[in-house]
Amino acid sequence: MTLAEWLAVANLLIIGGGVLGGWIVLRGAIAKSESEVQTRVREALSAENELLRGRIQRLETENKQQGRVMQLIITTLKRTHGIELDIDEDIITLRSPNGNVSRVSVDV
């Protein structure tokens, strides 16, 4: 083999190695970017979960407060006017002291 043939083979090996090395680098870069995106998404979802937990706690507190206000209204109506108020899911029943009963269905 002549020097030109050896150089041609060496050049072919270098080109093949460059292509293989480029492919390996590209795969590594893609894997790294996937990992970074996954980390950012996980952090964003975690932050959103914390916001939603806070909102749930505020709504639970508000719901308890509204329940106490509703019980106060029921108790006040009974003591001051003798009106009994029953709330069962979406049906409200009013009983007046003279025996009249009114039922109202509430659509929420």
Beta bridge partners of 85: 94
User: pLDDT band at residue 107, thresholds of 50, 70 and 90?
Assistant: confident
Q: Which domain holds residue 37?
A: 3-82
**What is the spatial distance between Cα 31 and Cα 17, in angstroms, rounded to a whole number?**
21
Does 61 reside within a domain? Answer: yes
Cβ contact 48:56 at 8 Å: no
Q: How many domains does the chain have?
A: 1
**Chain length of the chain:** 108
Does 91 reside within a domain? Answer: no
pLDDT per residue as tens digits for the range 45-69: 999 999 999 999 999 999 999 999 9
Q: pTM value? A: 0.60
Does 20 reside within a domain? Answer: yes
